[in-house]
Structure 1
């Protein structure tokens, strides 16, 4: 190979490297926007359950989001259902994020799990999502990634478990179910978002779920106690509009751009953001340990972003 050809190859490699780095940064930023939206989910769920049954909140939120998704697909003049060969993937997403995570986490909160204790789920979720990315999406992070991922999960778990909160066995089992459900839904949705825009992925998921979520919500609305206070309505609106729809738009796009395992590590910051919302909205108080945990998590996130897939 001549010197001229070598220089051309080096230039192309350098350009590709810069484009790849820019794509990773964009993915990380978009994923963080999703995390910011999701961080208010637990406090909003607590608000919503002050006026509505936990099952109604868990399923009804998908109806709110599904109607919005239907309108968006119609406005964009897109088919209301995805290609048939993708239905299995959309079913997995639906089971994970439309039914699994909202139901399991809502019941855990209803049975006594505090917002602080429930943050353990979010602390472990990035690690679970990374494992799913390896098993389902074919990603292969470097050892540095796994070390930083493990350190971040341990840091946030230690922080939340030392807040002086305790729960019974059943809420913990439900939180584990929420963890597994979300990891599967996130991975499958991000995998589809490589070819389909993230807003369409979550829209198709919600629309395909409407034949089940609408009748179940209608039955629950007439058979469970309903006390629609302004606070409960605000919480219900948040989990339906933000947690169940808008948050997934940048989240899936970020995972697809930045890598499911890598961009997903931005969710290590979600427990701390959730605790901040709990302090502001629910009156929970935290001490200097919050600052120490925040710094530890930010270091771990930075390390995962430096580790190339």
Structure 2
């Protein structure tokens, strides 16, 4: 490996790690925000704020416009990571704690991998589906056992959020090869802006005087970091270090999310939840090992 290639790999891993850290704070910040803001307004406002910033970046660097063939994939990215995941998680966090919801984030790499297989036409080995099914069964079993803190509605919303986010990540990874990393999320945000801006205005609170500072800080975090800045580091990491390699850093996200939930929100993180998260990460890591077809014998 050349020195230049080694430096690019190190920079990619560093950028990807920073992106993962930023995303780890999304659920705790969303939990703070929905304690004082309506989930619909939160979804529309965060996309609007990030969209304005994304537009400024595109204009500042004079980025070329996407081609006609990029419009549908960009719409998929927008529906997955700009609207779908933020909205579904915001509503879910009115029913479950962020510490409970973050367990589901352990399935996000698997969701991304599955859509990568479907969109890329790859042939995973049978073991891939074995570990995929096992990981899903662990999540469902854990959710069914939580008779006090869990909510069927909250769990269903989190599963839906993971599905649409995985689709948005996979589609964004494909687009980043043509448009560039941060440009993908910026264009997706800009395309969503004509819809998100009026919806944010229409759903805004009558007054912000009664909204606590914690909710406002949560809104600021998910708008600036989760919606835009995190993707700048994340997609740059994928571009420099490789999607398959750097993407595995996502497996660390549940652990950092659990720590942040316990630290910021003083939520209880039982040992059983940590054990479930470890089991999910093991299943996802094993599934990714078998995501490609086995080499044919010579």
TM-score by length of 2: 0.81
Q: For this pair of structures, how many residues does the alignment match?
A: 292
| SS of the residue 2:93 aligns to | helix
- Equivalence for 1:271: 254
Q: Deviations over 1:59-91 (max 9, x none)?
A: 110111111111111211224x42222111110
Q: Deviations over 1:149-191 (max 9, x none)?
A: 7777777777787777632322222112111110111001111
- Equivalence for 2:38: 53
- Equivalence for 1:43: 28
Point out the more displaced range, 226-235 or 281-290: 281-290
- Equivalence for 1:215: 198
1:74 equivalenced with 2:59 (yes/no): yes
Structure 1 segment 1-309 matched on structure 2, within 5 A: 27-79=12-64, 81-110=65-94, 112-139=95-122, 166-221=149-204, 227-256=210-239, 260=243, 263-286=246-269
For structure 1, the 5+ residue unaligned runs are 1-15
**Kindly tell me: are residues 142 and 258 of structure 1, through their superposed partners in 2, closer, same or farther at Cα, counting changes over 3 Å?**
farther
**Kindly tell me: are residues 133 and 17 of structure 1, through their superposed partners in 2, closer, same or farther at Cα, counting changes over 3 Å?**
farther
Structure 2 distance, partners of 1:192, 1:101, is 19
Structure 1 distance, partners of 2:180, 2:127, is 30
**Kindly tell me: are residues 282 and 158 of structure 1, through their superposed partners in 2, closer, same or farther at Cα, counting changes over 3 Å?**
farther
Q: Deviations over 1:215-268 (max 9, x none)?
A: 000001156877333211111000000000011112223344555455433222
RMSD value, Cα: 3.6
**Kindly tell me: are residues 22 and 225 of structure 1, through their superposed partners in 2, closer, same or farther at Cα, counting changes over 3 Å?**
closer
Q: Deviations over 1:249-297 (max 9, x none)?
A: 1222334455545543322221221110111111013355577667667
The answer to whether the Cα contact below 8 Å between 1:48 and 1:234 also exists between their aligned partners in 2 is: yes
Point out the more displaced range, 280-289 or 157-166: 157-166
Q: CA deviation at 1:147?
A: 6.8
TM-score by length of 1: 0.79
Structure 2 distance, partners of 1:219, 1:172, is 28
Structure 2 distance, partners of 1:107, 1:302, is 29
Q: CA deviation at 1:43?
A: 0.9
Q: Deviations over 1:129-156 (max 9, x none)?
A: 1010111134556677777777777777
Larger Rg: 1
Structure 1 distance, partners of 2:288, 2:3, is 15
The answer to whether the Cα contact below 8 Å between 2:82 and 2:189 also exists between their aligned partners in 1 is: yes
